[in-house]
Structure 1
């Protein structure tokens, strides 16, 4: 799958068509979720034809329309890496959905959790959802306005990465992909440090979604660098050069 193309084409979409997801695309998304759950110990779930949790819910800069399908981001409460894993695995599904011509949007706390028809065990928690579905060919005026604001706020690479030397080209390309990574309220909180030949990524915990943003940014970096290596999981951990993703 051409994830670089997906990174370039992905836009957060809040207006959806009243149209079912094709069976082949639904099967693919379910396959991806099952694989991620098995590998990472998550309990993500695709919910089809259930928009109760988002119908008419106002966001800080817009509203959702015609949301009938979403991915519930569920996992164990006691998993110290839960948020990061949901960010990394959830964004991989978002990128694949983009290549299937499906629109998506990460949603944090601005929805009714009680209306979400998903399984959450006593030892589990629902940390967010990803809306998913077909979207109009053209963005709505509100979506265009949001995209314009986000584009203007995108941080420069030098604002996200500090280094004691000139960074290599693979790292530049990794950071270019990070620039296009979604994050809570577009804060782009992940800071990268390259010193003594060691690259690390870290966030300061403030709003509660920074670790999920960290997982998303790590995935984008790996894709942008053509999987030049693989990130260790955790805040402040290292990028292991030459460690290919499976």
Structure 2
């Protein structure tokens, strides 16, 4: 009986590490739970659960996302639930690929020195102005009116436990809020392509694009076709000074 029980355990372990293979943009992607835990989790990778890993793999599989090309991120800080988000460029590329896509406009909403509310294209905010939010319009050839979005700084700014803005929300708030508005308008314009996807900026922080990479063993390393000559996903995102509070105010 003991031998029979051990064989079941061994079989279960082997099954759990079987790769999940799927195609993303014509490229074969192969992921295992071990690969995700070791190389594709930003933040506190040691805290991620098996359930969260499976959810991330399925997010990539059913949405055709290649995490080695930074199309999807699995982010884990402290005891907070892991967050799975996609890169803003993924939204842009999928919109560009739709034959009905007909351009976009996006910018910031500011209160000028004389108290006027102005919707300005781009990210320019003067020193004597207050940044209130962001706006965007996405046009489709088959629709009479554009899909629009306006978002406020108070709703989306990521904050630390002391109430101060965290990460890029502190240094580049206009860029961040413009991104939030744009991806929301893109999602409304193309719900079939983007309906279930959200970006890091919408969750109160920036994409984890800067990191120091560990060497990936040959067995787990992505093929040249998977990376297309690009840098693999970061091993960990730069943590804020109060990482456990990264998700403060995030629904």
TM-score normalised per structure 2: 0.29
Q: Which has the larger radius of gyration?
A: 2
TM-score normalised per structure 1: 0.30
